[in-house]
Amino acid sequence: MSTGSRLSRSAGTTPVRSPDNRHRLSDKRPPRNPKRYLSVFRIRFTSSLQYRTAALAGVATQFFWGFVLIMVYIAFYSSSDLEPPISLPQLVTYVWLQQSFLAFIMLWYRDDELFRLITTGNIAYELCRPGELYGFWYAKLLAQRMSGALLRCLPILVAASFLPSPYRMMLPPDFLSGVLFIISLLLGLLVLVAISMFIYISVFYTMSPYGSLLMFTVVGEFLAGMIIPVPLMPEWLQDVVYLFPFSWTADFPFRVYSGHFSRTEAAIGILLQLVWLVVLVTTGRRLMLRALRRVVVQGG
């Protein structure tokens, strides 16, 4: 929780370019206060924690899924004697991490409420709220994902580390990789939320979320290594993958955890994550301001 709140605050205090006030419904802007975003975060977080049964069902599903994937990889590994680019225990760990932090890395994990706000015109109420919309929504989405993962990750992680041999999830090779993993995972989450903001922003232009959602999820999930892990892709495809921000959200932290990346590689990667985060958040905010400027709220 403490790390979460720190994150949401940093998301809220990114510098604000003076917005065009003509079409703002309120032009009296109170002084920006990071606490606001924090409380949005807290409310969302606790309300999402209510759905415990759903989370339990989710855990069962993900557990099953992880099993299936691992069995497929084991079968593949046993039918070739070539040296694979990632060892089986590392891959198994990769799969379990993917399953436990699904809420951190799935692009389709969406908030239909926000879509409805835009398409029904209720966005007007949102604009009346003090505070900037980007930070506000960012905190909301972040909280949703954090609570979703919090409920699900622990049972899966614990159970997976007590499984019999080929299925067991290993611990990180040393303490430092564990720390680097946590840093990169949280940064990855921030990057992912920044990416998903683009889906919501695009709805301002297209008015229907399905097209962009579909595109983002199909392309994004593949490039993030959700269909097959990035190290198992052919070389040329890996080069393509690294050009996009998606692999930094899911693939990178998991490989840091299993020690597939060396420490220096991990450190450089974390820097790159930061760069991506800044780039995505600034362009996202600029696009959103532009979209809001041309927003037309219909009466009724």
127 vs 232 by CB, closer to other proteins: 232
77 vs 282 by CB, closer to other proteins: 77
**In the structure encoding, which two tokens stand for residue 233, read together?**
């892709």
Distance from the Cα of residue 294 to its chain's centroid: 28
CA-CA distances (angstroms) from residue 155 to 57, 96, 150, 169, 234? Answer: 12, 11, 10, 13, 34
Report whether 27 contacts 123 (CB < 8 A): no
For the CB of residue 202, give the shortest distance to other proteins in the complex, in Å: 14
170 vs 241 by CB, closer to other proteins: 241
How far separated are the first and last CA of the chain, in Å rounded?
41
Residues 6+ away with beta carbon under 8 Å from 162: 168
For the CB of residue 219, give the shortest distance to other proteins in the complex, in Å: 8
For the CB of residue 72, give the shortest distance to other proteins in the complex, in Å: 6
**In the structure encoding, which two tokens stand for residue 257, read together?**
């955890």
58 touching other proteins, by CB under 8 A? yes
Count of residues touching other proteins (by CB under 8 A): 31
For 40, how many CA atoms within 13 A lie in the half-sphere containing its CB? 25
For the CB of residue 104, give the shortest distance to other proteins in the complex, in Å: 19
From 123-131, 140-148, 227-235, 290-298, give the range in contact with other proteins by CB under 8 A. Answer: 227-235
Distance from the Cα of residue 19 to its chain's centroid: 27
60 touching other proteins, by CB under 8 A? yes
How does DSSP classify residue 130?
S
69 vs 133 by CB, closer to other proteins: 69
CA–CA separation, 223 vs 244, rounded Å? 8
- Of 80, 193, 191, 185, the residue nearest 136 (C-alpha): 193
From 231-239, 257-265, 266-274, 280-288, give the range in contact with other proteins by CB under 8 A. Answer: 231-239
Among 46, 47, 208, 262, binds other proteins (CB under 8 A): 208
242 touching other proteins, by CB under 8 A? no
CA–CA separation, 11 vs 9, rounded Å? 5
CA–CA separation, 162 vs 14, rounded Å? 42
Among 232, 241, 287, 291, binds other proteins (CB under 8 A): 232
Positions in 70-99 near other proteins (CB under 8 A): 71-72, 75-80, 82, 84
For the CB of residue 255, give the shortest distance to other proteins in the complex, in Å: 17
211 touching other proteins, by CB under 8 A? yes
Residues 6+ away with beta carbon under 8 Å from 236: none
Positions in 145-204 near other proteins (CB under 8 A): none
From 20-28, 114-122, 174-182, 213-221, give the range in contact with other proteins by CB under 8 A. Answer: 213-221
| Interface with other proteins (CB under 8 A) | 54, 57-58, 60-61, 64-65, 68, 71-72, 75-80, 82, 84, 208, 210-211, 214, 218, 221-222, 227-228, 232-234, 237
